């Protein structure tokens, strides 16, 4: 059964299942979800804990042996299976399936901690066998549109009242890094009296920029037309030393998808069918962003952007004098519906 991280504690208060799978790449929520399982286990009187780190050449027989071993001091234990990667292999798949089949009559709890599980992995035999008897906790990054409200609610845990504008500013300073955001709230809680109301100027004056971005965040912001955020992400990527070819790859990929969507729509297909025709298909959650971009960018504009991307590729290879990072910023900003920094440069540099 799927349960999101914010609902996990109350779900565990009602029932501690024999298996909990915590999967995702967002560190703060992932850590707290695992802590919630450990806390629920202690509440049920489970004090013994065995931790198995699954790395290269891991012997899956250790899971069977750990589950079968009897404790001298307790009738049940918490087994933590920490997967460094999501590749289980045939032996791992078989071991987890066997564990699910042998759960009846056991008082042990298995906590599986791993990275993000895609749709295909959730259809696998081992996952479905464990999901039938346990909980699946997918850990997703907080969407930027909800981040301010999430931080405002989070501040209440630390005894603070966070102004919504202050929460949004904190979100800008720490986007993609919830651990840093929570640490800033903890520092504010130490400096301010309980129940203090935090205003934007206190955030601006005391919180360093700890935002972390990746090219996928840039792609989403560009598709949604979030121009200020696109510029902020580009500065962050450049400052973090992300390689220019990776940024260009991400933007070019989106341009090709948008061109393909246009072509399917021009053939009379519905937008839904056009999304399903992409390889891989565009998930429902991302379709509104693509629809915004298709409506904003005509076919001719997309062709010009793709030609500009090709010129940036030549610049990466040293074949043209185009200012590379300014050009990447121009490409992303134009994709988002803005006016790039190269607009005032010679016409040979412009998108057109």
pLDDT for residue 314:
93
**Contact predicate 126/88, CB 8 Å:** yes
Domain span holding position 332: 215-349
Q: Which of 154, 173, 206 is the last residue of a domain?
A: 206
DSSP calls for 62-82: HHHHHHHPPPSS-S-EEEEEE
- Given a cut of 50, the residues of the chain with pLDDT beneath it are 343-346
Nearest to 333 by CA among 350, 315, 347: 350
pTM given for the model: 0.72
Query: Are residue 157 and residue 234 in the same domain, yes or no?
Result: no
How many other CB atoms are there within 10 angstroms of residue 161's CB atom?
13
Query: Are residue 74 and residue 104 in the same domain, yes or no?
Result: yes
Query: Are residue 11 and residue 128 in the same domain, yes or no?
Result: yes
Query: Are residue 183 and residue 224 in the same domain, yes or no?
Result: no
- Looking up residue 237, the CATH number of its domain turns out to be 1.20.272.10
Query: Are residue 245 and residue 330 in the same domain, yes or no?
Result: yes
- Looking up residue 113, the CATH number of its domain turns out to be 3.40.50.300
pLDDT for residue 343:
45
Q: Which of 115, 139, 163 is the last residue of a domain?
A: 139
Q: Which of 139, 165, 191 is the last residue of a domain?
A: 139
Query: Are residue 168 and residue 229 in the same domain, yes or no?
Result: no
List own/partner pairs for 156-160 with CB under 8 A and 24 or more apart.
157/185, 158/185, 158/186, 158/188, 158/189, 159/189, 159/194, 159/195, 160/185, 160/188, 160/189, 160/192, 160/195, 160/196, 160/197, 160/198
Query: Are residue 120 and residue 237 in the same domain, yes or no?
Result: no
Query: Are residue 309 and residue 241 in the same domain, yes or no?
Result: yes
pLDDT for residue 210:
76
At 29-38, the pLDDT tens digits run 999 999 999 9
Question: Which helix H or strand E contains 346, and what residues bound it?
Answer: none
pLDDT for residue 345:
44
At 278-289, the pLDDT tens digits run 888 788 888 999
Total number of domains constituting the chain: 3
Query: Are residue 251 and residue 181 in the same domain, yes or no?
Result: no
pLDDT for residue 282:
87
Query: Are residue 237 and residue 336 in the same domain, yes or no?
Result: yes
- Looking up residue 179, the CATH number of its domain turns out to be 1.10.8.60
Query: Are residue 135 and residue 148 in the same domain, yes or no?
Result: no
Query: Are residue 225 and residue 285 in the same domain, yes or no?
Result: yes
């Amino acid at each position: 059964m799927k349960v999101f991280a914010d609902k996990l504690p109350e779900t565990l208060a009602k029932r501690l299942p024999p298996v909990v799978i915590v999967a995702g790449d967002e560190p703060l929520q992932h850590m707290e979800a695992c802590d919630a399982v450990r806390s629920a286990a202690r509440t049920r009187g489970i004090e013994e804990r065995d931790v198995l780190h699954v790395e290269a050449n891991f012997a899956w027989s250790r899971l069977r042996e750990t589950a079968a071993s009897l404790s001298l001091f307790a009738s049940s234990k918490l087994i933590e299976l920490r997967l460094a990667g999501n590749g289980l292999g045939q032996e791992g798949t078989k071991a987890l399936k066997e564990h699910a089949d042998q759960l009846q009559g056991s008082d042990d709890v298995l906590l599986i901690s791993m990275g993000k599980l895609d749709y295909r992995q959730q259809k696998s035999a081992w996952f479905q066998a464990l999901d039938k008897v346990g909980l699946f906790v997918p850990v997703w990054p907080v969407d930027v549109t909800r981040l301010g409200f999430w931080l405002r609610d989070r501040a209440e845990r630390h005894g603070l009242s966070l102004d919504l504008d202050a929460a949004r500013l904190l979100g800008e300073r720490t986007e993609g890094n919830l651990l840093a955001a929570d640490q800033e709230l903890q520092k504010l809680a130490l400096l301010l009296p309980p129940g203090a109301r935090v205003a934007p100027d206190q955030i601006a004056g005391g919180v360093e920029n700890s935002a972390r971005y990746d090219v996928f965040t840039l792609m989403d912001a560009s598709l949604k037309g979030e121009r200020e955020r696109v510029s902020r992400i580009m500065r962050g990527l450049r400052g973090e030393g992300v390689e220019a070819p990776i940024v260009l790859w991400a933007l070019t990929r989106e341009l090709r998808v948008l061109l393909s969507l246009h072509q399917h729509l021009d053939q009379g297909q519905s937008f839904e069918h056009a999304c399903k025709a992409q390889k891989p298909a565009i998930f429902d959650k991302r379709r509104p962003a693509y629809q915004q971009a298709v409506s904003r960018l005509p076919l001719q504009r997309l062709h010009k952007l793709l030609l500009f991307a090709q010129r940036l590729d030549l610049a990466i290879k040293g074949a043209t004098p185009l200012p590379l990072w300014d050009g990447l910023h121009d490409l992303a900003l134009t994709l988002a519906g803005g006016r790039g920094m190269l607009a005032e440069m010679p016409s040979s540099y412009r998108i057109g």
